[in-house]
Amino acid sequence: MSLEKKTNTSLLSKIIYFLFSDSDSSVPLFFHSLKVEDQLFDFTLVRFLVSFLIVIASLFGRYILQIEEINCFAFLILALLLFLVNCINFVIIYPLKQQKEKVSSYRLLINFLLHFSIATDFFFLTIALWLVGGIYSPFQYFFIFHVIIASVLLKPLVAFAYTMYGYILFLLLAVGTWKGWFPAHFPIGAVPTNSPPSGIYVLTVVVVQGLLFFLTSLLVTHLMYFLRESQKQLMRVNKDLELLCDQRKGFLQIALHNLRSPVSAISMHLQNLINGYGGEINSIQREWVERSLKRCDELISFLKDLENLSILEKADLQSESKVFDINELINEILEENQDLLSNKQQEVILELSINPLFVNGIKRLVKEAVINLLTNAVKYTPESGKIFIRTLSKSNKVRVEVEDTGVGIPESEIPKLFKEFVRINYNIPGFTPPPGSGLGLFIVRQVVENHGGNVYVFSKVGKGSIFGFELPQIVPKE
């Protein structure tokens, strides 16, 4: 006895779950990624608008189009009922929408409200058609619109059930108008005649509308099935890509950790050899060691670029952002990089804004972006050249520019800048591009765009280049 009761309860639970759950194992409830509470909330807002449109349309027909048979009071009652029913939805769904972590426990209630909304829409539409001509009404095709909505939002079998429900309501309206089961409303102007429909006309309309109902539902549900299957496939691909991305990040961390220490140790030992700590070396040995040390420095620079990319991927802009003065940041960078600037006897000219320029962001990342621009200017500017660093405010944006008097960039190569692992083809006689990873400007763009800004460049061969970026300016509260 108890076993039979348990089996029946399980069957009932499965039926309820199938009707009101959006977590079906074969197809999801929706064809897009929005959650059911978001869909119901948007649906509720649209229904509020519809309730107002019913009132406006009835008043327009009665007093503007002069269709005296339109019962404005009945339409007002209908709109009021729809509004009140909709208020129930809004009162329930709005608090749940604000507390998304608790929504899952109310999933059955949310889906019930969705089904209740669609069911009442079919019912209210039937009453509206009855008030404006029944099967004569040109608005009868709104049934097709509701069939499409049900087919888009719901699972195929449930959508067919609503199609049957809507067709039964339409059938009752048609037969009831023909048999005189309820008072007829034929407002001349909205419908072509005030004569009751004949049996042949009713049969024709019922058959045609029935075919339209079910063919529309069949077509839309099949289309939605394929869309949902495509969505599931995309979700699987995205999940695989996320896993692959996590693996790549993990591998990058391991590679950086395992390479940084030995490369630094090799560089240190090579420097010791050059300094003579291991004994005197001849000129050929010194040349070999200097070449090896140069390659080690390039590798260390490349590892630093990869480390910056890794930091950029892990950075939480919202929690780590702070307001800081960009002018103070640039002065700090120049103080820390005197050796970089003095190696080639280059003159650095500061053109900083007189007033502080505040931006909101992760200071160490913005600092790295400025250092990359400055390093590039040093690399591509000849000895005793000039480098200008300027800041200014324009259109609520803070601009940072690094200008050099270097070789410039061919116009055809400018679109390639700021891309990942890109090396520019200068093709300038007598000029050999300095080594690099092709990540510096890419890191600058990533940092700036993640902070809501943009990068730009102006350059001309033989005249130098201007690299800059803009960030939203912050006005600190007094």
- Residues 330-349 pLDDT 10s: 999 988 887 777 777 888 89
**Cα dist from 77 to 51, 127, 128, 189, 433, whole Å:** 10, 11, 11, 22, 80
Q: What does 220-236 look like in DSSP terms, one character per residue?
A: HHHHHHHHHHHHHHHHH
> What percentage of the chain carries pLDDT values higher than 70?
85
Name the residue range of residue 80's domain. 19-242
- The pLDDT confidence band at residue 101, using thresholds 50, 70 and 90, is low
- The pLDDT confidence band at residue 152, using thresholds 50, 70 and 90, is confident
**Cα dist from 5 to 2, 17, 28, 333, 459, whole Å:** 5, 18, 30, 77, 82
pLDDT in tens, 340-398: 777 778 888 999 999 999 999 888 889 888 988 998 888 888 888 899 999 999 888 99
Question: What's the average model confidence in pLDDT over 47-75?
Answer: 82
- The predicted pLDDT at position 25 comes to 37
- The pLDDT confidence band at residue 10, using thresholds 50, 70 and 90, is very low
Residue 235 sits in the same domain as residue 321: no
Residue with tokens 């591509």: 380
The overall average pLDDT reported for the chain is: 79
Identify the residue with better confidence: 86 or 306.
86
The answer to whether position 336 is within a domain reads yes
The whole-angstrom separation of Cα 303 and Cα 305 is: 5
- The predicted pLDDT at position 98 comes to 67
pLDDT in tens, 224-234: 788 878 878 88
Cβ neighbourhood burial of 207 (10 Å; 0-12, 13-18, 19+)? exposed
The answer to whether position 283 is within a domain reads no
- The predicted pLDDT at position 4 comes to 38
The answer to whether position 8 is within a domain reads no
The whole-angstrom separation of Cα 461 and Cα 303 is: 30
Helix (H) or strand (E) run with residue 335 in it: helix 326-336
- The predicted pLDDT at position 28 comes to 39
**Cα dist from 420 to 191, 278, 340, 364, 406, whole Å:** 66, 41, 24, 21, 23
pLDDT in tens, 440-465: 888 889 889 988 899 999 998 888 89
- The predicted pLDDT at position 314 comes to 65
Residues 341 and 303: beta-carbon distance below 8 Å:
no
Tokens of 110: 């949310």
- The predicted pLDDT at position 2 comes to 38
Which residues neighbour 379 within 8 Å (Cβ) at sequence distance 6 or greater? 434, 436
Residue 203 sits in the same domain as residue 330: no
Of 127-131, 211-215, 336-340, 442-446, which range is least confident? 336-340
Boundary of a domain, candidates 193, 220, 242: 242
The answer to whether position 188 is within a domain reads yes
Question: What's the average model confidence in pLDDT over 3-30?
Answer: 41
pLDDT > 80? residue 301: no
pTM (predicted TM-score): 0.52
Tokens of 155: 């699972």
Residue 322 sits in the same domain as residue 449: yes
The answer to whether position 377 is within a domain reads yes
The answer to whether position 309 is within a domain reads no
Which has the closest alpha carbon to 43: 81, 75, 89?
89
Residue 114 sits in the same domain as residue 223: yes
pLDDT in tens, 270-279: 888 888 887 7
Which residues neighbour 20 within 8 Å (Cβ) at sequence distance 6 or greater? 108, 111, 112, 115
- The predicted pLDDT at position 59 comes to 85
Number of separate helices (H) and strands (E) present in the chain: 13, 7
The whole-angstrom separation of Cα 98 and Cα 428 is: 61
Identify the residue with better confidence: 429 or 90.
90
- The predicted pLDDT at position 472 comes to 92
CATH assignment of the domain containing 460: 3.30.565.10
pLDDT > 90? residue 108: no
Domain count for the chain: 2
